[in-house]
Amino acid sequence: MAVTLKDVAQRAGVSRSAVSRAFTDGASVSEKMRKKVEKAAAELGYSPNALASSLTTGRTKLIGLVSNNFHNPVFLEVFDLFTRGLQEKGLRPLLVNLTDETDPENSVRMLRQYSVDGVVVASSTLSPGFAEAFREAGVPVVHSFGRQTSTPGVHVVGIDNIECGRMAARELVARGYRSVAFLGGPKTATSTQDRHEGFMAELKKHPDIRVGQSFASAYSFEAGRHEMQRLLQGELAEGYFCGDDVLSIGVLSALQDAGRKVPQDVGIIGLNDMEMAGWQNINLTTIRQPIPEIILASLELMEAMLSNPDRHPEARIFPCTIVERGTLRPRP
């Protein structure tokens, strides 16, 4: 039979409430008492019941980790860092897939059924309305990889996507490309909109350069590959800024099948610097989004909100850098 709290109390010679306090963070209990209880628990092989503890404290320590683009390999890295980071802080991640969800209120109802203590919206493609819906429901929320704003309604941690678009344009111009194009993800994604805006704004400074644009149906390998296959039916630009790395990899696949050489015939720059981008057979030049730093800041904000739910919302925006590999021609 399972060892109970009562068994530990009898072995330690203390009350059941003393055992409960010994396993409750922040509870009033002497160090001598705690060690006595822990020794008895170890001898009996007892582990505190997290669900029972939540009934006592009113805290589940569950953090909803919400996203929607599970086909993008970069989110394997994101989820790995988030889940390990939450567990190291004594919190428990509850992974929620909102790929087909369009109504923020539905996601709020679902997460509240699990009595989550907080929510991290880990997506650049979910609308800001999802994070705001949690805030309005009184649930502590952080929007990771969210849209930059000077007056955030919720905590936002991410990058300046407009500046990333500008960076990509400057890089293509500096390498001598005379016709360039933006190949983005879905038009509805705020990250696509901002990267496109920055790219086009920077290229307005260079009216002698021909500029094109197109959009894939999703941030996925297949969507990137399909869009480049469509573009191959016409005249290609010399260089492309792809909305993220997984789109870029799909584009590289289509170009290879068509016998086009990269970077000799076509140059490609991506965004994210996901692990696959550095693989030898891909070797993608890209803009590094500092994912570990973004996740660490998101976890710090969530932990702070659990202590102070009324903490004023802030935006933490991290700079990006170019990672040069082999898919753009050398600078002249």
Q: 173-223, pLDDT tens digit by residue? A: 999 999 999 999 999 999 999 999 999 999 999 999 999 999 999 999 999
Average pLDDT of span 220-229: 97
pLDDT computed for residue 292 by the predictor: 96
pLDDT exceeds 80 at position 100: no
The better pLDDT of the pair 310, 197 is held by: 197
CA 48/CA 5 separation, integer angstroms: 8
SS3 string, 141-170, reads EEEECCCCCCCCCCEEEEECHHHHHHHHHH
49-53, 78-82, 324-328: which is most confident: 324-328
Buried b (16+ CB within 10 A) or exposed e, 46-57: beeeeeebeeee
| pLDDT category of residue 97 using cuts at 50, 70 and 90 | confident
Give the three-state DSSP class for 219.
coil
Average predicted confidence (pLDDT) for the chain: 90
Average pLDDT of span 152-169: 96
pLDDT computed for residue 56 by the predictor: 54
pLDDT computed for residue 36 by the predictor: 87
pLDDT exceeds 70 at position 295: yes
Average pLDDT of span 268-288: 97
- Name, in order, each residue with C-beta under 8 angstroms of 30's C-beta and a sequence gap of 6 or more: none
| pLDDT category of residue 110 using cuts at 50, 70 and 90 | confident
Q: What is the pTM of this model?
A: 0.82
pLDDT exceeds 90 at position 323: yes
The better pLDDT of the pair 52, 159 is held by: 159
Residue 24 class from Cβ within 10 Å (0-12 exposed, 13-18 middle, 19+ buried)? middle
CA 58/CA 62 separation, integer angstroms: 11
- Name, in order, each residue with C-beta under 8 angstroms of 286's C-beta and a sequence gap of 6 or more: 245, 248, 269, 270, 271, 272, 273, 277, 322, 323, 325
